Amino acid sequence: MFMFVKSNRIITDQGMISGILNIDEGRIIEILPPTARVAIDIDAEDHRILPGIIDTHNHGTMGYGLMGEQENPEAVVRGYLKGLASQGVTACLPTADFSLFEAIVKVAQGPIGGAKPIGIHSEGPYLNRVGEKGIDTGHPDIDLQHVQDMIDTAQGMLKLVAIAPELPGAKAAIELLSSQGVRCAFAHSNALYQEALTSFDWGITVTTHTANVMEGIHHRRMGGLGACLLNDEVYNELICDGLHVANEMIELMLRVKKNPYDRFMMVSDNVPMAGAPIGRYHLSGMFDINIDEQGYCLSDTGRLCGSTLPVIRGIRNLAENLHLPLTEIVKMSSRNPALVYGATHKGRLAAGMDADFIIIDEDYQVLKTFSEGHCVYDAETDTDLFNPEFLKACAC
């Protein structure tokens, strides 16, 4: 059944245009001129329509977390995907503990009332560096059988595994994962410039939340970050909220990287506290977490522990504070992750693409989210999405 969605400001490959999205069976058939004589189903007027966000690094949101043992893991996954939709995310790589893999696979096989999982991301377990103000508690030894178990349990959905390449056995793990179609990411690493470049030769193709939890750039010692930016082939995740990476550093990174709008991928690194009130929270089996007025998510030692601000806030930051054009920003928030992780029918508003799009207001608040032509979030009706059990269990 055809649906016609009109806006004076649609972000496409050709720029911002006025037009009508002609949608049928979950795909964009064509973008009609605004004067086309059709029955308009949704008139967004001057509200902007953007390609749906594809967040490939997200541990949780709205009180739903993909870590630890869960009493009802499928319900947690569904609540998480609905929460993502409220933040303009139409597709994602749930960044999950191994214990949640089976639930994600099962949920992905049926109808989804939220963001669509296009794979699974495992950040670890083989990580090393803990970052500024963190406490090093060691790391597990790399176990190739566990790596294979991750691949098998995900049933083809494992798309990305983040690993510190300086750990013993990392090269063999990277080669095993790469041989079975799983990308590997440079993550939580103490590796210096040359070590990082060597790991790219082993098969690493992505860098995890680039600049965060890696050896930084010094004028006499480049560090892993220098390798991430100067290597032309590797793709770079980037948290663009202006808190995890200073805006001046974001601008520097975009200037240094060759073809930056083709290589950076915006991510949130959100945790279950995303969307929670300011306060102190205790996660079972972990340390206490503090959320402050700016949106920082910090341990008691001051270490950054993920993020509470979604990708749409990063889009706002890049557009309003760094004055980047939305036509370039959406390449990093939508097009690039779609291409990197094989969802080539997503990430752009064009004929033949999935009808994944969001309608936002002037303050970048998400009004509606559509995944494959279905409205999976409406700000007027979806008003109570935060997990009440989270606040009961975790609020200190």
3-state secondary structure of 360: strand
Compute the distance between CA of residue 219 and CA of residue 319 in angstroms, rounded to an integer.
30
**Coil, strand or helix at 278:** coil
Task: Determine whether the annotation assigns residue 389 to a binding site.
Answer: no
Helices (DSSP H) in 203-310: which residue ranges?
A: 223-230, 247-256, 260-263
What's the chain's length in residues? 396
Question: Does 123 belong to an annotated binding site?
Answer: yes
The DSSP output letter for 132 is T
Taking the C-alpha atoms of residue 117 and residue 54, their distance in angstroms, rounded to an integer, is: 10
Flag whether 218 is marked binding. no
Active site residue 269: yes
Q: Which bin fits 22, alpha (ψ -120 to 50), beta or left (φ > 0)?
A: beta
DSSP string, 300-353: TT--B-SBSS-HHHHHHHHHHTS---HHHHHIIIIIHHHHHTT-TTSSS-STTS
| Contact between 94 and 77 (Cβ < 8 Å) | yes
326: its two tokens:
């939305």
DSSP letters for 25-53:
TTEEEEEE-TT-----SEE-TTSEEEEPE
Placement of tokens 């979950």 in the chain:
26
For residue 304, what are the CA distances in angstroms to 97, 130, 260, 307? 19, 10, 25, 8
Q: Choose, from 55, 241, 269, 382, the residue flagged as catalytic.
A: 269
The two structure tokens encoding residue 128: 């090393």
Q: How far is CA 239 from CA 9, 47, 67, in A?
A: 26, 25, 20
Work out the burial of residue 131: count CB atoms within 10 Å of its CB; fewer than 13 is exposed, 13-18 middle, 19 or more buried: middle
How far is the C-alpha of 368 from the C-alpha of 12, rounded, in Å?
18
Q: Which of 211, 214, 210 is nearest to 195 (CA)?
A: 214
Provide the annotated active-site residues. Answer: 269
From the annotation, which residues make up the binding site for Zn(2+)?
Answer: 123, 188, 209
